[in-house]
Amino acid sequence: MTATPEDALPLGTPEPMQLRSREKALLDALHREDPRLANMYLGAILVLNQRENPERAVFAAHSARELMEKLPRYRDVPSHIEPKTQPSLLSEVRSLAQTWASVVKGSTGARNRWSGEVDKSLVRFLVAAEKFFAWLNAERPIRIEGVTRLVRQLDPMSDRMPSEIEAIRVREWNACHDFLTAAAHHGSNANEDDVRAWLEVLERFLLDCLAPRTFEDRAELRAIIREAEGRD
């Protein structure tokens, strides 16, 4: 069953959780994009407020990270922005680390403080390192390009934003994604306060794009005009 902003809480919830206005606005905006995106966001909010759940920060980070990775699909952004379509940086680093561990364990150069000839163990590591850095140099620009396309696609303004501002928005998105990914894998930063802070960063980013503030509310507009006229 798909959650909606009006009927979002699961059955059996002892007391209905009151969503903040920002959360309601984003949940509604995501629901207009696709109900599955709204479910991911709602799941992050709900689990983060489960005080009895010791893994709430990790689970919330995972749901929020999934939202970031699935959003491009519903905006027709090339799928290479999604890390799952290619090896992740973490998996590649782990592979290189395993090769390095075998070098330290078996290389004669390591036992002699790296003096002497380059043996087979060290040669294997150097080859692996060369492949890793070649992959990294190729993968990073592709990912940045994908995020840049997403930022442009999400921009509610018809004119393209200045390149300097665009670069800031791309870095903001990547920083948020990197944090949530680490937290979802039980990184040292997976504490509730930090996850809440970064979730708020994501909320404000998406609200700026999906539900930008306008002055369509005429009552609010009239109040602003009256206030301005009263100061004259």
Q: Average the pLDDT over 13-37 and give the result.
A: 83
* pLDDT for res 55: 94
| pLDDT for the residue numbered 140 | 56
Confidence of residue 212 (pLDDT cuts 50, 70, 90): confident
Q: What is the pLDDT of residue 15?
A: 43
The answer, as to whether pTM is greater than 0.85, is no
* 190 and 201 Cβ atoms separated by less than 8 Å: no
Average pLDDT over residues 13-17: 47
Rg (CA), the chain: 23
Phi, psi of 52 (to 5 degrees): -80, -5
Lowest mean pLDDT, pick from 40-54, 61-75, 128-142:
128-142
Q: Is the pLDDT of residue 103 over 70?
A: no
Task: Name which of 62, 66, 94 is nearest 82 in CA terms.
Answer: 66
Q: What is the mean pLDDT of residues 99-111?
A: 63
SS (H, E, C) 37-50: HHHHHHHHHHHHCC
Q: Give the pLDDT of residue 31.
A: 93
Residue 176's pLDDT band, with cuts at 50, 70 and 90, is: very high
Percent of the chain residues past pLDDT 90, beyond the cut: 28
Mean pLDDT, the chain, whole residue set: 75
Which one is predicted more confidently, 145 or 67?
67
Spell out the residues 6+ positions from residue 200 whose beta carbon is closer than 8 angstroms to its own: none
